[in-house]
Structure 1
Amino acid sequence: MSAGTTVNIAITGFGGRMGRVLAEAVSFAEQEGKAKLSGAIVRPGSSLVGADAGEVAGLGRNGLAIVDSLEKAEFDVLIDFTSPQATLDNAAYCAEHGKAIVIGTTGFTAEERAQMLSAGDKTPLCFATNFSTGVNLCFNLLETAARVLGDDVDIEIVEAHHRHKVDAPSGTALSMGEVIADTLGRDLSKVAVYGREGQTGARERETIGFATVRGGDVVGEHTVSFLADGERIEITHKASSRLAFARGAVRAAIWLIGRDAGQYDMRDVLALK
């Protein structure tokens, strides 16, 4: 992005918890002269259509009316933390109209994920299961730990989220597992163990275990344990506010401006690769 450029950002799913936090994150970027909120989109039939976006987000009136479709919004980049089907439709729209898109939606099937990412063939697309700086740094730490410890440890991933989260394990936990499996030359789909019950037998070394906790208002916690005889190493990330994810997504949206069409992720944005 060239100096002095202000990026017009639209947020879909504006009526949800994450939509409003994203608006707050855009407001911080606006104070720095980097971006402004130019579109606030909700589902058709929502009672929020026509309301002032700033007022709904708790930021004070800004004169931007909430709309019910992408066609009614003006933007350079769309930020989408909604649902798989809605995101597929939105990614296709952005690809067709040359709009960049930042996607934080989770819960895709393998086929849906491939379809969503294909929009990157025509427009800049940044997809991440977690946009916080800390989590993406953890991905690099996990690569190092897996490479050094190799096949001499057992690996377990435990994640916790609020009671409203609908997919499990979290997309971030799965991404952590993928980073470790790729580093060790394993296929996560073949070695992942999602919970244990009953007489499971002795643990097989190559497996990567996942455990899920849901309850209360936990924003997001992930711990990866590398367990050896006599010691264990734990890499943990704890989020105390959704603003950590939202500010990362806005950073990604600004970074996408001027990029070639392609599939990017948050580690590209942070130059961690």
Structure 2
Amino acid sequence: MGRAIADAAKDEGDLAVVDSGGDVLIDFSSPEGLRASISRALDAGQALLVGTTGLDEGHESMMREAAGDIPLLYAPNTSVGVALLSDLVERAARVLGREDWDIEIVEAHHKHKADAPSGTALHLGLAAERGRDEDALDDMGRCGKDLRREVGSIGYSAVRGGTVAGDHDVMFLGPEERLILSHRAESRAIFARGAIAAARFLASQKPGLYSMKDVIG
């Protein structure tokens, strides 16, 4: 991602990627590296864009605390298309009732991805929960017997292999019809372009916690 962002920045013409300083610190490292990135941004008074996935509640708590002092944007996926998909999922979940419509999220990534389900899949699940204004039971894959789904639950399935940049399908399964909202990432360049758009947005913001939804308006 670092190389992809540097290449995308060259195409912009008015941006520069530097090892230190700058207006926005961009972190696509690892959950273990987040604390150091937050400390660096706080010390320098920089805005911070976090694109790392696999974070837990402890990491999210650190980000919320840091957002009191600096602008911080957390995006499990920086694609503008995924940001729009999240909005569509929230709207669909609001319209399609939990009693008649089941939600399943299927994602596919390259064979080297370490976490599952993807941060994007979990992000889309949260969008569905916001649409239904409730916390849902997360069904993380199925194996065995007597696995009848619970009403209102959200199922997650992960596929790993090859060089897949990222595929996500959010399926609303209703009586005699299905609505499937999908996104296909064909190159990591889309994440780099989205990260640059997010950084441009973040550079002019006041301290606070932001998301890609703020970027696309």
Name the TM tier (shorter chain). Answer: over 0.9
Letter in 2 for 1:114: S
Cα deviation for residue 38 of structure 1 reads 2.1
TM-score (norm 2): 0.96
Indicate the SS of the match to 1:193.
strand
Aligned-pair distance for 1:97? 2.1
Structure number, greater radius of gyration: 1
**197, 210, 213: which is aligned to 2:156?**
210
Q: Any runs of at least 4 consecutive aligned residues in structure 1 with deviations exceeding 4 A, and if so which? A: none
Match of 2:17 in 1: 37
Distance 2:146 2:204 in 1: 52
2:111 — aligned with what? 163
Is structure 2 residue 190 aligned with structure 1 residue 240? no
Alignment check: 8 A CA contact 1:123 1:261 kept: yes
Structure 2 counterpart of 1:93: 40
Please name the residue that 1:76 is paired with: 23
Cα deviations by residue, 1:7-62 (Å, 9 ceiling, x for unpaired): xxxxxxxxxxx111111111122x2x2x11222xxxxxxxxxxxxxxxxxxxxxxx
Shift of 1:201: 3.4
Distance in 1, matches of 2:73 and 2:65, equals 12
2:200 equivalent in structure 1: 254
- Output aligned runs, 1:216-231, within 5 Å: 216-231=162-177
Aligned pair partner of 1:175 in 113, 116, 123: 123
Matched, 1:27 2:10: yes
Over the matched positions of the two proteins, sequence identity in percent amounts to: 44
The separation in 2 between residues aligned to 1:178 and 1:147, in whole angstroms, is: 12
Q: CA deviation at 1:259?
A: 1.2
Q: Quick one: distance in 1 between partners of 2:155 and 2:88?
A: 18
Determine the structure 1 residue equivalent to 2:141: 195
Query: Aligned equivalents of 1:84 and 1:201: distance in 2?
Result: 32
- State the number of aligned residues: 216
Q: Is the 8 A contact 2:90 2:129 kept in 1?
A: no
1:235-273 per-residue CA deviation (whole Å, 9 max, x = no partner) reads: 0000000010111111111111221111111110111xx
CA distance in 2, matches of 1:257, 1:19: 19
CA contact (8 A) 2:92 2:131 kept: no
SS of 1:121's partner is coil
TM value normalised by structure 1: 0.77
Q: Distance in 1 between matches of 2:109 and 2:142?
A: 19
How much is the aligned-residue C-alpha RMSD, in angstroms?
1.1
**Is the 8 Å Cα contact of residues 106 and 158 (structure 2) preserved in structure 1?**
yes
The aligned residue for residue 11 of structure 1 is: none
The structure with higher relative contact order (CA 8 Å, sep 6+) is 2
Shift of 1:204: 1.6
State the one-letter code of the partner of 2:72: L
- Matched residue SS, 1:125: strand
In the TM superposition, residue 78 of structure 1 has moved relative to its aligned partner by 1.0
Pick from 160, 167, 186 the counterpart of residue 134 of structure 2: 186
Greater shift after overlay, 228-237 or 105-114? Answer: 105-114
* Secondary structure at 1:102 match in 2: strand
Given that 1:107 and 1:171 are in contact with CA atoms closer than 8 Å, whether structure 2 keeps it comes out as yes
In structure 2, the gaps of 5 or more residues are none
Q: CA deviation at 1:212?
A: 0.3
Q: Is the 8 A contact 1:156 1:210 kept in 2?
A: yes
Gaps of at least 5 residues in structure 1 are 1-17, 40-72
